[in-house]
């Protein structure tokens, strides 16, 4: 049981009636005009009480806020620049708010793979590059291991299959629609590019959906 329960207008009416003078001119019968007026006035305070509890119990937490979501976002410095052109649902805005408030950050493979998973790419993988090293590399190593020292600064995030929209006669329009189109993970690419180790360069690859 909550220590501060919601109080309806009837409880405020009783408290207000207790503050009124006593005597024949101040009847307490519920059917009298005085008590009906007292009850009507107290309904307002019941509404105020309920709204106050909503603001504390619902709007006071980033997981449930709706009315004050924009205020929370102002405090957290949202929206992120990566989302300025994205039409976000309330649930996605709450997710980003929670992430911004509690996120400790990271620059490991696991961190970026978790980020990809949260943004809808559970099959993402990461390839890190390195130059050929005598004593550690060997003949037959993949070509990406051959090169200069600068390749140590490169890594690739493979985002797996993405759906492709093909040009279709009768549905697509010549001169406007491409022969084939797929949606890039613009938000994920932006966030990874923003949060990656500053000395590295990252590229993204996609594969076609079966």
For the chain, the structural domain boundaries read 9-57, 66-103, 106-208
Neighbours of 128 (CB within 10 A): 12
Whether the per-residue pLDDT at 157 is higher than 90: the answer is: yes
Please give the backbone phi and psi of residue 42, each rounded to the nearest 5 degrees, phi first.
-75, -20
Assign 1 a pLDDT band (cuts: 50, 70, 90): very low
The pLDDT of residue 176: 64
Pairing type for strands 154-162 and 201-208 reads parallel
Average pLDDT across the chain, whole number: 80
Helix (H) or strand (E) holding 201: strand 201-208
Residue 94 half-sphere exposure, CB side, CA atoms within 13 Å?
A: 14
Q: Which two tokens stand for residue 11?
A: 């409880």
Q: Which residue reads 């600064």 in tokens?
A: 153
Please, are residues 177 and 169 in contact by the beta-carbon 8 Å criterion?
A: no
Assign 11 a pLDDT band (cuts: 50, 70, 90): confident
Q: Which residue reads 């090169």 in tokens?
A: 147
**Mean pLDDT, range 136-147, rounded to an integer:** 57
DSSP string, 98-162: HHHHH-----SHHHHHHHHHHTT-TT-EEEE-----TTT--TT--GGG-S-GGGGGEEEEEEEEE
The crossing angle, in degrees rounded to 10, of helices 33-57 and 9-19 is 130
Three-state secondary-structure class, residue 46:
helix
Helix (H) or strand (E) holding 165: strand 164-166
């Amino acid at each position: 049981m909550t220590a501060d329960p919601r109080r309806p207008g009837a409880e405020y009416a009783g408290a207000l009636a207790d503050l009124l003078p006593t005597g024949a001119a101040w009847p307490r019968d519920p059917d009298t005009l005085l008590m009906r007026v007292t009850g009507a006035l107290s309904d307002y305070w019941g509404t105020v009480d309920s709204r106050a509890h909503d603001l504390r119990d619902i709007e006071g937490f980033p997981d449930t806020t709706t009315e004050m979501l924009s205020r929370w976002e102002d405090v957290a410095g949202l929206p992120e620049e990566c989302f300025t052109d994205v039409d976000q649902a309330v649930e996605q805005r709450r997710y980003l708010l929670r992430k911004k408030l509690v996120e400790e950050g990271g620059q490991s493979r696991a961190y970026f793979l978790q980020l990809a998973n949260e943004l809808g790419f559970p099959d993402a993988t990461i390839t890190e590059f390195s130059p050929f090293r005598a004593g550690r590399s060997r003949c037959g190593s993949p070509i990406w291991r051959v090169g200069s020292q600068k390749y140590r600064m490169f890594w690739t995030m493979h985002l797996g299959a993405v759906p492709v929209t093909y040009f279709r006669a009768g549905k697509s329009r010549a001169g406007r629609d491409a022969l084939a189109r797929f949606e890039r993970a613009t938000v994920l690419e932006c966030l990874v590019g923003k949060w990656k180790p500053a000395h590295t360069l990252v590229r993204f690859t996609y594969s076609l959906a079966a």
